[in-house]
Amino acid sequence: MDKLMTKNMWNEEFWQKPWDQGALVVICLFVTMILFLIVFAIIFGFLPPFEKIDPCEES
């Protein structure tokens, strides 16, 4: 029972500290940006490159 109370108190203390919350936000933003860049690279890696069409070239 005492272990549960200690864990609950630690959790409450964590959310009272603004620096810890700010660090958590920065870490979440960093991880989100890395995941976004990975998805971006995968999506545009599978797309075929555009063919350059020269307007002066006649078919």
Whole-structure pTM over 0.75, yes or no?
A: no
User: What pLDDT sits at residue 19?
Assistant: 78
**Secondary structure tally for the chain: helices H, strands E:** 2, 0
Q: How confident is the model at residue 36 (pLDDT cuts 50, 70, 90)?
A: very high
- Are 20 and 14 spatial neighbours (Cβ–Cβ below 8 Å)? yes
- Tens-place pLDDT, residues 5-31: 566 666 777 667 777 788 899 999 999
CA distance 12 to 17: 9
Instruction: Say how many residues make up the chain.
Output: 59
